[in-house]
């Protein structure tokens, strides 16, 4: 991803529905308007789980 891009745009570019993930930067929760910086790692946590009785 290019630096300066918003997280939301990066997710769209990867065909990831923003509703289906939570993003963290260095363990901190971030919102989708966050601007991505050069060289940083954004962790996406999938939110969907199945199998409740």
* Residues engaged in binding another protein (CB under 8 A): 17-22, 24, 28-33, 45, 47-53
Q: How far is the CB of 49 from another protein (least distance, A)?
A: 6
Q: Minimum distance between the CB of residue 3 and another protein, rounded to whole angstroms? A: 19
Between 3 and 43, name the residue whose CB sits nearer to another protein: 43
CB of 12 to another protein, least distance (A): 10
Q: Report angle CA 9, 46, 42 to the nearest 5 degrees.
A: 50
Dist CA 4 CA 27 (whole Å): 20
Strands 42-46 and 28-30: unpaired
């Amino acid at each position: 991803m290019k630096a300066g891009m918003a997280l939301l745009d990066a997710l769209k570019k990867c065909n990831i529905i923003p509703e289906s993930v939570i993003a963290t930067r260095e363990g901190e929760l971030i919102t989708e308007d966050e601007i991505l910086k050069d060289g940083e790692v954004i962790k996406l946590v999938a939110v969907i789980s199945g199998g409740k009785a």
